[in-house]
Structure 1
Amino acid sequence: MVDAPCTIRSADPMTCYVKTNWILILILWAAGLLAAAQFGKISLALAEVSVVYAQTQTMLSLAVSVMGVIGVIFGAVVGILVARQGARRAVLFALGLGALMSLLQSALPPLPIFFVSRLIEGVSHLVLVVAIPTLMIQISAPRHYSIVMGLWGMFFGVGFAATAYVLPGIYGVGGVPAIFAVHAAGMATLALVLWPLLPRAAREDIPLNWIALHLSLYGNPRVIAPAFGFFWHTLMFVALLTFLPDLISDMPWVATALPLIALCGTFSVGFLTRYIRPDQIAVISFVGTAVLMGISGGSLWIILPAFFVIGLLPGASFASIPYYNHTQTDVARANGAMAQLGNLGTSTGTPIYALVIADFGFPGLTVLTTVLCVAGILCLVIIRKKIVRMGE
């Protein structure tokens, strides 16, 4: 198959890759797994960290949520900073910063310093989730954009699963300090590996004004389209993973099966986009989720395939970034918007579902999910019309 012309451009014309650099793609994806572990190393060892600091798990859970707050506030800003400084510099900086914060945490500093380190680590995480997919698109052939973004869409789920797998062994060897030390070593190692491999790019002179930036960002339908679909998904996904297993089954494997099935849906998007536009796949995901959850009646055997359909959405959202945006700057801005709205959805969705379930149980969960799916469909349809009017 002959590749399509290079579409992602910058002020300093980047190399048009006629072959995808799969080795570098996989190394960057591994860096994404370590970015996911920035959340997982605390949330999956919350009980152990709480014992070390003699605090309740509720108190220490703030060390998880504080990283999401960084994404909500600065997601769009980081998108521009990555475009200004270049994704290579951003990734190396973020890996180094993350390694330093994990190393500090391995010393078990006083609790206030620990929380400050998590706040700073939130900056590292945010830069990574904006810069890595920007780089992955840059080093991919155009025909592989959707497959590469489908792979990237799996990073958080796979990263969490991998962290859950290795964490008990690490804890058994050296306790909580070893968890942080191994994470620091992993990030530092990848920074050294990537240093000579990542393509260099000139800095771009892009003005940085927080208010003007958000006004221009959210006024550009091409840049914001992927993020708005992703937002309604994140409002649902973590909450459904949190509450559904206990509501529909007493079998422990269900909690593991649901995210794995969703990951299969996410990865399949890379192949589906050869025949269907990414935004159409996103609409299909919302429609299928609403229908299957609505008719499930709590049946496990309907909810399992529903999670494959739910998993289509993140893959479609990431694939929409290079589909709609054709410059490095806009790709970085779109990734920043994804991080911003994704963190907003993840932070607010679970408490909203908790309130609804407390009063209305499983029927309330299905109604709320349907409402969010309808809102997602309306957003995507409206934004698509604006893009068409602009001239696709």
Structure 2
Amino acid sequence: MIQAFQVLLLWLAGLGAATQFAKIAVPFPELVLLYPDHAESMGWLLSIISLLGAVLGAVSGAVVGRVGALKLLIGGLCLGGALSIFQASLPGFYTMLATRFVEGVSHLAIVVAAPTLIAQITSGKARNISMVLWSTFFGVAFALNAWIGLPVVEHFGLPFFFALHGGLMIAIAGLILLCGLKVQPSQDVAPWRWSELIDVHLRTYRSPFVSAPAIGWFFYTLTFVSLLAILPSRLPEGHAATVAGLMPLAGIILSWLAVPILLSRMSCVSVINLGFALGMFAIAGVFLGVPLELVCVCLFAVLGLVQGGSFAAVPILNQTPETQALSYGAMAQMGNAGNLLGTPVLLAVLGRTGEAGMLITVIGIYAAAILAHVALARKRALRQPA
């Protein structure tokens, strides 16, 4: 019971990290009105966290081993909370942008440290279920911010919304400190050297155990946010909002229902590849005359297998806290890289080749993901875990 409560608190920390994106994305029109002279640059308020994560993600995994996952998580939550409370003052655009850049450090700390802690305090079936729960944090946070956050903004304004987020982040940090997490201590290592920036990336991406979840995650994030933004706009106006809400919800539900069962019967990589393969079949339905509304919901439902399977793969493929932290750091890096590239790439393909060309490109991305996982599995068969 205590362990379940601890996992729940760590998941709530993930909701706070995801809200660092959602608090800008969901009330975006209000922010545009707040900074009317910077309309063309407003996208940076959202994406600058992804930019930092794409550069520093792998390094953050190494930092966990040095600082300790618990210290890093508490630091990330407190930093994020303090920044959100400061943002409630609605500073000038460039000051707000600077705080968002620093907020990227907080976000990285949370999304790498929290799942590392979950993997340390759970095992077996409980770990699989816990990692599936963790994998839902992004979609759940966006849904909650749309259902609860927008009414809060409408009734109390952006300052209250930001301050509420900051206060909840700090409160979660306090509860995690009080809940008695028993974690492994950080390593006794030499001071950091700049040359280790390269060493960390080489150690991470040379290992087919450490890098596998992240490589597949890159292909997933290359399409997830971009399709969530693009596909509803291709639907009739009366259906777009409903389908946009159902898409991430369908993935969360199927991930919860199917991934723990599938992981008891097949490998984590097989679950991931099954999700990508079913995603290809779902998209192919468009060319067979299946309504796009149904294709959208089915596609995001089966991508829930990739979502849950990828997070579960980290502790399954990596046995030590150090390699698990490196793997989660790589997932953060590749996920941010995918989020950065996905929408511009698919919009460019859509503009040049139309909807059919874009959907064929997505099928190709999922096929590449499967091939990458198969190749990494062959490498793992020839090596011992890192």
The TM tier, using the shorter chain, reads over 0.9
- Show the counterpart of 2:262: 272
Q: Are residues 1:242 and 2:229 paired?
A: yes
- Show the counterpart of 1:370: 363
Equivalent pairs, count: 374
- Structure 1 position 333, deviation (Å): 0.5
Which secondary structure state, in structure 2, belongs to the residue aligned with residue 108 of structure 1? Answer: coil
Do the aligned partners of 2:121 and 2:183 also contact (CA within 8 Å) in 1? Answer: no
- 1:160-179 Cα shifts (integer Å, max 9, x gaps): 11111222232234311111
Q: Are residues 1:288 and 2:278 paired?
A: yes
- Show the counterpart of 1:205: 188
Whole-angstrom CA distance in 1 between matches of 2:356 and 2:25: 29
Gaps in structure 1 of 5+ consecutive residues: 1-18
Amino acid at match of 1:216: R
- Structure 1 position 56, deviation (Å): 4.4
Q: Are residues 1:330 and 2:320 paired?
A: no
Whole-angstrom CA distance in 2 between matches of 1:324 and 1:200: 20
- 1:223-252 Cα shifts (integer Å, max 9, x gaps): 001111111111111111111122244313
Amino acid at match of 1:39: F
TM-score, normalised to structure 1, is 0.92
Q: Are residues 1:129 and 2:111 paired?
A: yes
> RMSD of aligned C-alpha atoms?
1.6
Whole-angstrom CA distance in 1 between matches of 2:232 and 2:317: 36
- Structure 1 position 316, deviation (Å): 0.8
- Show the counterpart of 1:104: 86
- Show the counterpart of 2:44: 62
Gaps in structure 2 of 5+ consecutive residues: none
- Show the counterpart of 1:28: 10
Of 257, 274, 298, 2:246 maps to 257
Of 139, 142, 156, 2:124 maps to 142
Whole-angstrom CA distance in 2 between matches of 1:284 and 1:94: 34
Q: Are residues 1:301 and 2:283 paired?
A: no
TM-score, normalised to structure 2, is 0.93
Do the aligned partners of 1:230 and 1:338 also contact (CA within 8 Å) in 2? Answer: yes
- 1:316-353 Cα shifts (integer Å, max 9, x gaps): 11111011000000110000000000100011011111
Q: Are residues 1:90 and 2:72 paired?
A: yes
- Structure 1 position 193, deviation (Å): 1.1
Whole-angstrom CA distance in 2 between matches of 1:377 and 1:249: 33
- Show the counterpart of 1:357: 350
Q: Are residues 1:387 and 2:376 paired?
A: no
- 1:124-144 Cα shifts (integer Å, max 9, x gaps): 001100000011111113232
Q: Give the 4+ runs in structure 1 shifted more than 6 A.
A: none
Which secondary structure state, in structure 2, belongs to the residue aligned with residue 221 of structure 1? Answer: coil
Amino acid at match of 1:332: A
Q: Are residues 1:315 and 2:308 paired?
A: yes
Do the aligned partners of 1:47 and 1:57 also contact (CA within 8 Å) in 2? Answer: no
Whole-angstrom CA distance in 1 between matches of 2:215 and 2:2: 28
- Show the counterpart of 2:159: 177
Amino acid at match of 2:306: L
Which secondary structure state, in structure 2, belongs to the residue aligned with residue 99 of structure 1? Answer: helix
Amino acid at match of 2:198: I
Amino acid at match of 2:213: P
Whole-angstrom CA distance in 2 between matches of 1:61 and 1:167: 20
Amino acid at match of 1:40: A
Q: Are residues 1:347 and 2:329 paired?
A: no
Do the aligned partners of 1:288 and 1:309 also contact (CA within 8 Å) in 2? Answer: yes
Amino acid at match of 2:298: P
Of 222, 225, 241, 2:209 maps to 222
Whole-angstrom CA distance in 2 between matches of 1:359 and 1:111: 34
- Show the counterpart of 1:47: 29
Which secondary structure state, in structure 1, belongs to the residue aligned with residue 157 of structure 2? Answer: helix
Amino acid at match of 1:308: A
Deviates more, 1:243-252 or 1:120-129: 243-252
- Structure 1 position 20, deviation (Å): 7.5
- Structure 1 position 94, deviation (Å): 0.4
- Structure 1 position 78, deviation (Å): 0.6
**Distance verdict in 2 for CA 1:108–1:138, change over 3 Å:** same
- Structure 1 position 57, deviation (Å): 4.0
Whole-angstrom CA distance in 2 between matches of 1:96 and 1:304: 37
